[in-house]
Structure formats: structure tokens, C-alpha cells
Amino acid sequence: MRIYFLFLSFLVGIGYEPIFAQTKLDSSDPLTELIYSISEVIFSNPFRKEETEIRKRITESNATEIRDLRIQLKNTIRSLSLSRSDVKSKNGKLLSFESELESIPSLGGFLWKDESGTIYQWGDWSDFYEDGFSREKLRFEGQIPSFSYEAGTLYFFLRNPPGSLPVEFSFLGWESNFYAFGDEGSLRYTNDFRLDPSERLGDFRKAFDSIRKKNPGSQIITASDLTIFMVPGKPKPIYYIFLFLRFFLIGWTILLATYIIRMSLSFPKNHLPEHRAPLS
């Protein structure tokens, strides 16, 4: 009877699992969110959690920068009403536009193309040339940020200003180092301030082989137009506390499950009254 009851409870639990999952996603109760956060810290792999968080923050920062720069370029070129004839004649509009481009510290390059070829180019695009020389064949053309203008396409890419580094990302338990490079090869994001900001993707990729040997678990992640190198840090004492707590809870769960199974499989003995001779 107990076995059937446990089996029924298991089926009911499966039936309510999607509802519970949906409730978890939709829950805005601070106490519930705190419980979920604590359980995630205890049961998840700290390096994997940090890797996910770093990738998320870098991707969000990159998307925000691209969006803001796209809006700024659109407003600039439309306010000047720049046309193909202005580019060919190199008049005052083009000079004003170039001054605006030079005033944007995060802009690495600007390119105006249509079906006939390149109309205007600003900045160093040599890292995007497919063969290293041709201006008409671009690598990663499909993922370079762009927008349409006058039956053509305007491409642009970001590059950190010289000497600038993003804010440091630090998390509980581990402190991984990360190095994110753009498609053009420049360093975009890192929390290692010892690295030269002028480091190039090709050079760092060669050095990363030796880093992998010294730091097992190092890996390369591709996110959008970024190549991210992850190097796990050394665990802090609190990591071992969470690790012990994790094993303790797992062991306790196994013992509890074993006890429940044994109790469900043990049948009570039939206690029949003893046969005694009738009293005379």
C-alpha cells in the first residue's frame, strides 16, 4: 500500500512540476528570490556560474554600446544630410562629418558601401579584409554592426579608446580572468589590468596555449562579435564551505531517500494471538 502511495505522489509531483517551474519564473517575492539565489550558489558549479555571468554582462555591455553608437551615427549623418555627391566633392559636409567621427572615442571605423562598391571609408578596416588587402571583401560582414542609408549600407565597429579598461567583474567564490576581443582584433573587455590594452587577438591566441597548460579549465567562448578567453581563478575559502555543504546535503538526501524506500518496502508482521490451552 505504501508503494502505491509513493508512486501516486510521484505522479502528482510530475504533474505539478511545470506549474512550480512557472511559479518560480513568475515569482517576484523577495524572500522566494533570496531562497532561489542561495540554492543556486550552493548547488551550482561556481566557475560555470561565473562564466555564465561574465558572458551575460559582456554581451549586454557590448549590445548597449553598439545600440548607442548606431543611434549617434544615424543622428549625425541625417542631421548633416550627407549624400554621395558630398563624399565625391569632399565639401564642408564631409569635413564636418569626419570631425564628428573623430570625436567619438569608441568608434573604430566607419564604412559606406552599396552594390557598386565602397563609397566612403573612415578608420582602419584592414583587419576585416578577407585577403588582407581588398577593400571590397570583408570578413564577418554579416555580423558587423550596420544600418541602411540611401540605398546603401553603413558599417561600423567599436574599439576601446587607448588606455581605457572596463570595470572589474568579481563574483563570490572564484575570481576568473577574462579577455574579450572584437572581430577586428582589438581588446574590448578585460578585468586583468596587467595586460597591455594594445594586445591583439592573434598574439593573445598564441599565448593562450601556454596559459591553458598552467590553468586547466581555461577556454575560449564566442559571443556575438566577441571572442572571450576565460581563465579560472583560485577558489576562495568560502568555496570549500559551500562545497562541504553541498556534499552534506547530497548525503543527507541519499540517506533520507534510502530510509523512505526501506520503510515503504517493509511489510508489518501479522501479530496473531498465541494459542493457549483453555483454563480448566
15 contacts: CB under 8 Å, gap ≥ 6: none
Both 189 and 127 in one domain: the answer is no
Ramachandran category for residue 178: left, alpha or beta (phi over 0 → left; psi -120 to 50 → alpha): beta
Both 83 and 208 in one domain: the answer is no
Asked if 112 and 75 count as a contact pair (C-beta separation under 8 A), the reply is no
- Look at residue 9 in the predicted model and tell me its pLDDT: 46
Highest mean pLDDT among 21-25, 40-44, 73-77, 158-162: 73-77
What average pLDDT does the segment 52-81 reach? Answer: 90
Asked if 155 and 107 count as a contact pair (C-beta separation under 8 A), the reply is no
Both 148 and 109 in one domain: the answer is yes
Both 176 and 250 in one domain: the answer is no
Is the per-residue pLDDT at 239 higher than 80? no
16 within domain boundaries? no
Residue 269 confidence class, pLDDT cut points 50, 70, 90: low
What average pLDDT does the segment 150-162 reach? Answer: 84
CA distances from 118 to 83, 89, 159, 207 (A): 14, 15, 21, 36
Is the per-residue pLDDT at 216 higher than 60? yes
What average pLDDT does the segment 58-73 reach? Answer: 91
What sign does the CA torsion over 131, 132, 136, 142 have? positive
Both 125 and 187 in one domain: the answer is no
Q: How much of the chain, in percent, has pLDDT values that exceed 70? A: 66
Give the side-chain half-sphere CA count within 13 A for 133: 0
- Look at residue 131 in the predicted model and tell me its pLDDT: 54
More confident site: 165 or 14? 165
- Look at residue 51 in the predicted model and tell me its pLDDT: 80
Both 191 and 154 in one domain: the answer is no
Mean pLDDT of the chain, nearest integer = 76
Minimal CA–CA distance to 172: which of 39, 36, 31, 49?
49
What is the value of pTM for the model shown?
Answer: 0.65
Residue that is last in its domain, among 130, 158, 186: 158
* DSSP 8-state assignment for residue 126: G
- Look at residue 102 in the predicted model and tell me its pLDDT: 92
Lowest-confidence segment of 22-36, 131-145, 163-177, 214-228 by average pLDDT: 22-36
143 within domain boundaries? yes
Question: Residue 223 has which C-alpha cell?
Answer: 559571443
What average pLDDT does the segment 194-206 reach? Answer: 87
Cross-strand partners of 123? 109
Q: For 41-60, what is each residue's pLDDT tens digit?
A: 555 566 777 788 888 888 88
198 within domain boundaries? yes
Domain carrying residue 242: 236-265
- Look at residue 276 in the predicted model and tell me its pLDDT: 59
What average pLDDT does the segment 197-203 reach? Answer: 86
CA distances from 106 to 143, 157, 165 (A): 18, 9, 12
- Look at residue 17 in the predicted model and tell me its pLDDT: 38
Both 78 and 154 in one domain: the answer is yes
Minimal CA–CA distance to 176: which of 196, 192, 153, 159?
192
Lowest-confidence segment of 77-86, 175-184, 248-257, 260-269 by average pLDDT: 260-269
Both 224 and 244 in one domain: the answer is no
DSSP calls for 181-201 = EETTSBEEEES-TTS-TT-BH
Both 152 and 167 in one domain: the answer is no
226 within domain boundaries? yes
Asked if 175 and 150 count as a contact pair (C-beta separation under 8 A), the reply is no
The tally of domains found in the chain comes to 3
119 within domain boundaries? yes
Residue that is last in its domain, among 158, 191, 223: 158
Is the per-residue pLDDT at 178 higher than 50? yes
Both 167 and 222 in one domain: the answer is yes
63 contacts: CB under 8 Å, gap ≥ 6: 224
Q: How much of the chain, in percent, has pLDDT values that exceed 90? A: 18
Both 145 and 83 in one domain: the answer is yes
Both 213 and 257 in one domain: the answer is no
Residue that is last in its domain, among 143, 158, 173: 158
